[in-house]
């Protein structure tokens, strides 16, 4: 499968490393400091045990290159950079027509001291996923990967027998949901489908608020936590 990752930061790179192991073709892009992307990818990939051969399979390009390359496109944009990224894609005529676009983003802004905070005003009105659908009406939008910290998207972090992280999915297309589920499963995680109404992505984004509250009040500020789902056995 050909996957283009737009703005491969922490989330995008961690996903890319997992997917390259399974034979997917990956193109990475970054709108700021793209010259640093190769070295950052190399450091993460080798640290995760990828071989030089696997590392050599990564492709690099502009935001538009990644958008055009992927049969599936991952939007992993740092929220404060969303507007410039959208502007560049539109300038280059990107429409994502007929393509699956996976939105991994949460509406997290940052203050002058680099403290992150949820944009509650934005969240009252819409979601990032709905915004993307308005910008690219021909795209097949899904929400996924937004409720797991980037460092926990390495399945080896769950190899001690702890319960593997759940990846929640939301998206309009019944037919295309299977491809998104497959990407999640090949990474070693368990997909949980939350429904076809894109407005429900607001709920998935608000889970991020809960995770941050738990981190602050239960885990001493440690954000390395994820939400799981346990189904009781029938009697």
What tens digit of pLDDT does each residue of 180-208 get? 999 999 888 899 999 999 999 999 999 99
Mean pLDDT of the chain: 92
Provide the residue ranges of all domains of the chain, joining segments of one domain with +: 2-217
The answer to which of 24-38, 84-98, 156-170 has the lowest mean pLDDT is: 156-170
The overall pTM is greater than 0.85: yes
CATH 3.40.50.720 fits 2-217, yes or no: yes
- The confidence score (pLDDT) of residue 98 equals 94
What mean pLDDT comes out for the span 105-132?
92
Cβ contact 86:64 at 8 Å: no
pLDDT tens digits for range 146-156: 988 888 888 77
pLDDT at 163: 67
* pLDDT reported for residue 229: 85
Give me the pLDDT at residue 155, please: 79
Return d(Cα 191, Cα 181) in angstroms, integer.
6
What b/e readout covers 201-224, taking b as 16+ CB neighbours within 10 angstroms? bbebbbebeebbeebeeeeeeebe
Owner of token pair 């001493």: 220
pLDDT band at 164 (very low <50, low <70, confident <90, very high): low
CB 42 within 8 A of CB 21: no
pLDDT at 75 over 90: yes
How many Å apart are CA 38 and CA 169, to the nearest integer?
30
Pairwise CA distance, residues 198 & 140, whole Å? 11
As a whole-number percent, the residues of the chain with pLDDT over 70 amount to: 97
Which of 5, 149, 17, 156 has its CA nearest to residue 71? 5
Q: Which of 29, 33, 30, 99 has the alpha carbon at shortest distance from 59?
A: 29
Summarize the confidence of residues 56-85 as an average pLDDT. Answer: 96
Provide the pLDDT for residue 224. 86
CA 119 to chain centre: 18
Is the pLDDT confidence value at 173 over 80?
yes
| Inter-residue contact 105 to 75 (CB < 8 Å) | yes
Per-residue pLDDT, averaged over 58-79, amounts to 97
CA distances from 23 to 19, 41, 67, 87, 232 (A): 7, 17, 19, 32, 36
């Amino acid at each position: 499968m050909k996957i283009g990752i737009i703005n491969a930061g922490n989330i995008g790179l961690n996903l890319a490393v997992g997917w390259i192991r399974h034979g997917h073709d990956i193109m990475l892009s970054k709108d700021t400091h793209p010259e640093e992307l190769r070295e950052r990818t190399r450091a993460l990939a080798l640290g995760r045990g990828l071989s030089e051969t696997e590392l050599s399979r990564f492709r690099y390009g502009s935001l538009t290159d990644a958008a055009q390359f992927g049969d599936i496109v991952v939007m992993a944009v740092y929220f404060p950079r969303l507007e410039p990224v959208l502007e560049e894609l539109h300038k280059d005529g990107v429409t994502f027509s007929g393509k699956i676009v996976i939105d991994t983003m949460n509406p997290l802004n940052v203050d002058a001291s680099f403290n992150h905070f949820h944009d509650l005003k934005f969240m009252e009105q819409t979601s990032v996923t709905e915004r993307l659908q308005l910008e690219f009406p021909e795209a097949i939008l899904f929400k996924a990967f937004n409720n797991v910290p980037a460092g926990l998207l390495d399945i080896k972090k769950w190899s001690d027998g702890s319960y593997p992280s759940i990846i929640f999915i939301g998206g309009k297309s019944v037919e295309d949901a299977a491809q998104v589920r497959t990407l999640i499963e090949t990474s070693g995680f368990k997909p949980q489908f939350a429904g076809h109404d894109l407005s429900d992505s607001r709920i998935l984004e608000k889970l991020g608020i809960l995770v941050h509250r738990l981190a602050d009040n239960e885990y001493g500020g440690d954000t390395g936590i994820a939400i799981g789902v346990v189904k009781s056995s029938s009697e």
